[in-house]
Structure 1
Amino acid sequence: MLDVVALLLLGGVAGFINVLSAGGSMLTLPLLMFLGLPPQVANGTNRVAITLQSITAVGGFFRGGHGNLGVSFRLAVPAVLGSLLGAWVATWVSREIFEFVLVAAMIGASVFMVLPQPALDTRPLTPDRLGPVIYFAMFLIGLYGGFIQVGVGALFIVVLYRMLKIDLRQVNVLKVFIVLLYTLPALAIFAISDQVRWGMGLTLALGNICGAMVAVRVNMGHRGAQWIKWLTLVMVVAILVRLIWY
């Protein structure tokens, strides 16, 4: 029973964080490991929650009139290709390597979260602003996200906000759409490899969905999300200490 409560509560926090900022999987992936799942199985199971959370967020954004299907699909294609490769690698990599990557990713994402974001002169994103560099960056994000997902939102901020200079509200909209499209094939690969525990994944997903629904309503951009980042960092530090002694 306590496991179910933990999955629902932390899932809700993670769903809220994932939509508005980045770092939700830094909470849920270690939680699944602490509840007894092997790292690779926890990695696959976490994708159930990411998928359903993303469906919820995408639906909410589009019902609210936010979205750019043409650009979103263009950006998602290389991300999906990268995700297929990343997920395949994740299914056979050793436990030791995966845990090392997880700790390194959590530390790296935490450092990025405390760095100040520059104030940029943002403008709408149109297809003519996309090019080979952006598509390759999306492939790398998909590759990383397919492998582990932890901190992938920070990579989207680098590419979409810093490189393409679109506002952070629109970054959030594009991010959840692209994550949904590349997570679906990744989840399939993990499921085929028997690295998904559906009961725990669906329980976690219920919490994620609730958090995502709240986040869609308060999509607030960079300044309003600062307190979310600090809350995430406090929790991540505690988890990192536990992971190192795991």
Structure 2
Amino acid sequence: MEIELWVYAALTAVCVVSGFIDAVAGGGGLLTMPALLSAGLPPHLALGTNKLQSSMGVAMATHTYRRKGLLQIRPHLGTVACVFIASGLGALAVQALEAKILNLVVPVLLVLCAAYVIFSPRMDDTDRRELLSRKGYVPIASGIGFYDGFFGPGAGSFFTTSLVALRGLGLTRASALTKLFNTTSNLGSLLMFVAGGQVLWTLGLCMAIGTITGSWLGSHSAIRFGARLIRPLLVTISLLLTARLIWGYFTG
């Protein structure tokens, strides 16, 4: 499809902001998906192109967290494999099924996430006793991975909140591990969108430049300021995603 040059520039600029948000708290799709749809892309093509740019941005954030010593990948390889498979299945499902029902379910989950972040004293950088082991968390991570491939909005928030609540991680470490799982779910679903021919490569790669820039800035900011930055942004993104999904449901 034909896309004007100014649209490339505008979407790349949007991705700088969304990449920053994704690197800190997740939820960058709050900006990029409406922007892609406003540019005239059909929903499945918008989802696939969004996964391309998002994959590269979150991968940049993952690398930054790992380089700063906040993330170890090897202990989580089993979970990564399950998230990868689940997200691919989710992406296959969304290309065949109607996803609108999730517009009602997801806002409820996002409000619960925001409420937990606001009211729980656990949402800081202190590690606490885990309620689930690493293996016990695999089904939760896989479920979020499937959801990310199928629909997507709020997946980063779900990963971060569940890692704090169930695995006992401090907020900055939970955000770092979220980026690993989010990179995995993005790549797993991206492969299925590529196989289905649902990616605009030139546009996606241009957007990726903006996303990588924003992700670099966001991950360094999160590492520097920790829970003081992540906690309020996590609440804000959860509530904004909730509002957008409810608005989208009732406006068609």
Partner amino acid for 1:188?
Answer: L
2:159 equivalent in structure 1: 156
Structure 2 counterpart of 1:9: 13
Offset, 1:175: 1.0
Map of 1:179 onto structure 2:
182
TM-score by length of 2: 0.83
Query: Residues of 2 paired with 1:124 and 1:68: CA distance?
Result: 19
Distance change (3 Å), C-alpha of 1:44 and 1:108: farther
- 1:115 matched to 2:115? The reply is yes
Give yes or no for the alignment of 1:223 onto 2:225: no
Q: TM-score, normalised by structure 1?
A: 0.85
Amino acid at match of 2:44: Q
Matched position secondary structure for 1:98 = coil
Please list every run of 5 or more consecutive structure 2 residues that lacks an aligned counterpart in the other structure.
none
Rounded to whole Å, the distance in 1 between the matches of 2:96 and 2:67 is 39
Q: 1:121-176 CA deviation, whole Å, 9 max, x = no partner?
A: 62498xx9323x31111110111111122100121123211001101111111111
**Does the 8 Å CA contact 1:20/1:221 hold for their aligned counterparts?**
no
Structure 1 residues 184 and 172 mapped into 2: Cα distance closer, same or farther (>3 Å)? same
Q: 1:109 to 1:32 in 2, by over 3 A?
A: farther
Amino acid at match of 2:52: V
Kept after mapping to 1: 8 A contact 2:147/2:155: yes
Aligned counterpart in structure 2 of residue 47 of structure 1, from 40, 45, 51 = 51
Q: How many residues were matched structurally?
A: 239
Residue of structure 1 equivalent to 2:68: 64
Aligned Cα RMSD in Å? 2.6
Shift of 1:110: 4.7
Alpha-carbon deviation of 1:62?
2.1
Is 1:165 the equivalent of 2:168? Answer: yes
- Give the counterpart letter for 2:146 in structure 1: L
- Alignment deviations for residues 78-136 of structure 1 (CA, whole Å, 9 cap, x no partner): 2112112101101222xxx33453x33663465245424212262498xx9323x3111
Deviations 1:33-80 (A, max 9, x none): 111111111111111111111221122122222211222313212211
Kept after mapping to 2: 8 A contact 1:48/1:202:
yes
CA distance in 1, matches of 2:155, 2:203: 22
In 2, Cα distance between equivalents of 1:106 and 1:177: 22
In structure 1, the gaps of 5 or more residues are none
Partner of 2:210: 207
The alignment partner of 2:89 has SS state of helix
Q: CA, structure 1 residues 235+52, in 2 after alignment: closer, same or farther (shift >3 Å)? A: same
- Provide the secondary structure at the position in 2 that maps to 1:224: helix
**Percentage identity across paired residues of the two chains:** 23
2:9 and 2:241 map into 1 onto residues whose CA distance is 17
Residue 199 to residue 85, structure 1, CA distance change in 2 (3 Å): same
- SS where residue 225 of structure 1 aligns? helix
